Amino acid sequence: MEDHIIRMFLNRTKTYDHEEVLRYRDKDKIYQSLSWKQLKARVDDTISGLSTLGCKKQENVGIFSSNRYEWLITDLGILANSSVVVPFYSTASREQVKYIVDETQMRFIFVGNKEQMELALSLIDEGSTLKKVISFDPVVTDDERVISFENFLLLPSQNGINLVIEDLEPNYSAQDLATIIYTSGTTGEPKGAMLKHDNFMYCFHIHDKRLDVNEKDVSLSFLPLSHVFERLWSHYMLHCGAVNVFLENPREVIEVLPVVKPTLMCTVPRFFDKTYEGIHNELSKWPAFKQKIFNWSMSIGHEVIEYKCRTKKPPFILRFKHQIADILVLKKLRKIFGGKIKAMPCSGSAIDTYILKFFHAMGIFVNYGYGATETTATVSCFKTDRYYYGTCGSVMPGVEVMITEESEILVKGRSVFSFYYKKPAETKEAFQDDWFKTGDEGYVDHQNNLIMIDRIKDLMKTSVGKYVSPQKLELLLSRDELVEQIIVVGDNRQFVTALVVPAKEKLMQVAKNVGISYDNESDLIQSKGTYQLFENRFSNLQKDLTPYERVVKFVLLKEPFSIEAGTMTNTLKLRRRSIEKSYKHLIDQMYS
């Protein structure tokens, strides 16, 4: 088994040579590609460039950029130099960047655009450890602290340095630190999880046993490379010899899917929530007879997946109906994703089983799983031929899971990290013997499937002593088409409440149909008729819950939660504590 990311990369370049390895859009939005040989040459230039700057072995080097092919080149170049990659989210605030730069004492940072460059320069002005900023975008400046990536790659020839991977490869060790990934975290101070080359390589090994990926696959990369999920997946694509297509602006994903026609794409539940909403908004505009055909086709799809998830062959008559449903509706729906998708790994937060089944019925295999930065991503996921809805899939081979008496999920294995960077106390607290404490509540069923219930810290205990899972409630109420986002509140309170962001476009349609009059969006959201509409819908959805679990009161918000407002993480998780703090006055009013 290969033991080092760059040793693996070197072996693949020898195997695939002139074949395509990555694709990207240039400034005119025309797709360009690089072969393995060309990528190897740029990685060699990056090693030489870093050497010219005086970058040392195991030195921390930052990448502060959105997804682009230069990100991968730089990532591989830093690793090939035996240095350590420290990624930043492209939307990271100045405070977040400063914290990580200061803690890691980095001297060199690669940035994507002008705004990121200026942020880095402002830190240098304040006396930061940063010395050099390398910009992926072209730069026009006399500032010697900045150099464009294009000129950075020319540094070696100008200085007579010509290093290649082969020169350094004999010194690579599986135990070398590869990266420090700071958890985005919904609460608390960021912690840098230290992952070794061995963590990555072991993950590739166990994924080979679970997934069907080969050199014929094309993956679209739109989730942030700064996150462990997309980062690990991009390296896994190299491991498998597949082609990776980089998308710089994630908001364009639906637009480019029919063009790229990927076979694979990592996603988060929010992507499916929005796509489901978009499909049904469009469906509502269709004539009644077309809606009936759609609903019939989807019902057939739902029947078929109940056989597929148990590795059973559907009866002949059902297979025949499915062929008709596929021609009429399902195949057309899959074209939204390019028409060639065979699997979409999905993780990051809870997903509504109803929505998961909808996409499976369509013929899109959403491979839902569970993992964390500290576990080098995947702890469990669906098997392609056997899976159980309502679970996070079966535990990965080579990974051990234990459930404590308090129902906390603990994980052990070679994919688990060893330390938080410069945080010995937090590291000690994160482990129970050799087991990593995930902080999540859950259990493992008799089929070895992992079921994650909620973050232990998020579990609410009402003032009458009853425990409530906010995640369970949020998934339930977000099924309503009028709900865009929702956060449930109730810890140490006498009853449960919620902050709700309405789906404005859909709300306006429904308001018109039921006769709610309004002058503008703000007027609509604040009207008594709208509140009553939501109250009736929530009451119906919660009818099977015990009284103490139900949302009793709620507030409709005019603005959505967002990364910019600090109420959402870069991986699109809601920051529960930040939201509760920002909207404290509204929450208190519900209990007054």
DSSP letter for each residue of 126-184: TT-S--EEEESS------TTEEEHHHHHHHHHHHT----HHHHGGG--TTSEEEEEE--
- C-alpha 252/C-alpha 245 separation (Å) is 13
pLDDT digits (tens, 9 = 90+) for 42-52: 999 999 999 99
CA distances from 64 to 67, 70, 316 (A): 10, 11, 54
* 8 A C-beta contact, residue 487 and residue 473: no
* Cβ–Cβ under 8 Å, residues 382 and 369: yes
Find out whether 554 and 541 touch, Cβ atoms under 8 Å.
no
Per-residue pLDDT tens over the stretch 71-87:
999 999 999 999 999 99
**Is pLDDT above 60 for 245?**
yes
Percent with pLDDT over 90 in the chain: 79
Q: Please report which confidence band the pLDDT of residue 69 belongs to, taking 50, 70 and 90 as the band edges.
A: very high
Q: Is the pLDDT of residue 458 over 90?
A: no
Query: pLDDT per residue over 460-516, tens digit each?
Result: 877 767 778 888 899 899 989 899 999 999 888 889 999 999 999 889 989 988 888
Q: What is the model's pLDDT at position 188? A: 58
- 153 in Cβ contact with 134 (< 8 Å): no
Which residues sit opposite 535 in a β-bridge?
none
* CA pair distance 165, 149, nearest whole angstrom: 19
pLDDT digits (tens, 9 = 90+) for 180-196: 999 865 445 789 999 99
> CB-based contacts of 345: which residues, under 8 Å, 6+ apart?
229, 233, 264, 265, 266, 267, 367, 369, 381
- Among 34-38, 363-367, 455-459, which stretch is predicted with the lowest mean pLDDT? 455-459
How much is the pLDDT for 186? 46
- If pLDDT is split at 50, 70 and 90, which confidence band does 237 have? very high
Per the prediction, the chain carries an average pLDDT of 93
Domain coordinates in residue numbering, the chain: 5-172+211-260, 269-340+343-419, 459-591
Q: Bigger pLDDT: 184 or 118? A: 118
**Per-residue pLDDT tens over the stretch 335-354:** 999 999 999 999 988 899 99
Beta-bridge partner residues of 344: 366
Q: Is the pLDDT of residue 572 over 50?
A: yes
**Residues 293-304 pLDDT 10s:** 999 999 999 999
**Nearest Cα residue to 455 out of 195, 185, 189, 270:** 185
Read off φ and ψ for residue 487, nearest 5 degrees. Answer: -130, 125
Q: Which CATH number fits domain 5-172+211-260: 3.40.50.1010, 3.30.70.100, 3.40.50.620, 3.40.50.980?
A: 3.40.50.980
CATH architecture of 459-591: 2-Layer Sandwich (3.30)
Q: In what helix (H) or strand (E) does residue 425 lie, and over which residues does it extend? A: helix 424-430
In the numeric block, which tokens belong to residue 475? 């998934």
Average pLDDT over residues 158-179: 93
Phi-psi region of 390 (alpha: psi -120 to 50; beta: other; left: phi over 0): left
Give the pLDDT score at 21: 98
Q: Whole-model pTM? A: 0.86
**Degrees, nearest 5: CA angle 384-388-392:** 85
Among 104-113, 152-161, 271-280, 437-446, name the one with the lowest average pLDDT.
Answer: 152-161
